[in-house]
Structure 1
Amino acid sequence: MSFWDSFWNIMWIFFWSFAFIAYLMALFAVISDLFRDHKLNGWLKALWIIFLIFVPFLTVLVYVIARAPGMNERAEQRARESQAATDTYIRDVASSSSADEIAKAKALLDNGSITPEEYAALKTRAMS
């Protein structure tokens, strides 16, 4: 066996490995989209799953061609919901009320950590 024979065998293995991983990603995308779609009833979901089991490559291809716009809309909706939840969480965790900021500044003033001018500046910033 020459070097080029083994080289092309390795390339062939890489190609089929890539194709298999790409298929698995498409399969998981289809399955997750099936269960994310609330407009599709349970019987149709079960039918798609049965076809995915018995005719996997053709079913994934047909699903992606037939239902691609809906898949995209559901993915965008999920991304918007996740972004909104993240933004809400960050706002809740990172922000504090004006009264809390003024109370912290007052405690610093009482400790002597800041001057009355700094306290006034912090109070003004908290009020705005």
Structure 2
Amino acid sequence: MENYPLLDLFLTMMYFFLWIMWLFLLFRVVMDIFRDDDLSGWGKAGWLVFCIVLPFLGVLVYVIARGRGMGRRDVKQAKEAEEALQDYIRRTAADARAGTGGPDDLTKLSDLHRAGVLSDDEFNRAKTKLLA
């Protein structure tokens, strides 16, 4: 430890964290290349080769050229995911309400009993089941 001063330790940590941040940026750029519907297949292949062959320059040029679109695509994907979640919640809640035995089901059951389709015993069992 005597040959490794504290400043060198801090610089090593800084380089390590900058390298990790660059890896995150590289993965984000690669994911954005594949997610972008505006790029053709050849465009995607070109950007991908550029980012693999010259990684630092490729990522830097991609962020400069298409960085604003990256943010828009992220926002669009988040909105679509939120809308899908809200739609799923609405459908699930509607399905749950439909089978809970609410007033509509009791009315239907009462109409069947009045029409003579259900006997008194069947009506009472079904009503108890709905209200349980």
Identify whether the pair has TM-score above 0.5, normalized to the shorter chain. yes
Task: For 2:25 and 2:42, locate their aligned partners in 1 and report how far apart those are by CA, in whole Å.
Answer: 22
RMSD over aligned Cα atoms: 2.9
Q: Which residue of 2 aligns with 1:62?
A: 61
Q: Which residue of 1 aligns with 2:39?
A: 40
Aligned letter for 1:30?
Answer: V
Q: What's the CA shift for 1:93?
A: 2.7
What are the Cα deviations for residues 86-110 of structure 1, in whole angstroms up to 9, with x where unaligned?
112222334433563417x968x73
Which one scores higher on RCO, CA 8 angstroms, separation ≥ 6? 1
Q: Which residue of 1 aligns with 2:76?
A: 77
Q: Which residue of 2 aligns with 1:29?
A: 28
List alignment gaps of at least 5 residues for structure 2. Answer: 107-124
Task: For 1:44 and 1:35, locate their aligned partners in 2 and report how far apart those are by CA, in whole Å.
Answer: 10
List alignment gaps of at least 5 residues for structure 1. Answer: 115-128
Task: For 1:81 and 1:10, locate their aligned partners in 2 and report how far apart those are by CA, in whole Å.
Answer: 45
Q: What's the CA shift for 1:81?
A: 0.7
TM-score of the aligned structures, taking structure 2 as reference length = 0.70
What are the Cα deviations for residues 28-73 of structure 1, in whole angstroms up to 9, with x where unaligned?
1111111111111111111111111111111111111111121111
Task: For 1:73 and 1:32, locate their aligned partners in 2 and report how far apart those are by CA, in whole Å.
Answer: 14
Q: What's the CA shift for 1:14?
A: 1.2
Task: For 1:98 and 1:49, locate their aligned partners in 2 and report how far apart those are by CA, in whole Å.
Answer: 50
Q: Once the two structures are aligned, what percentage of the paired residues are identical?
A: 36
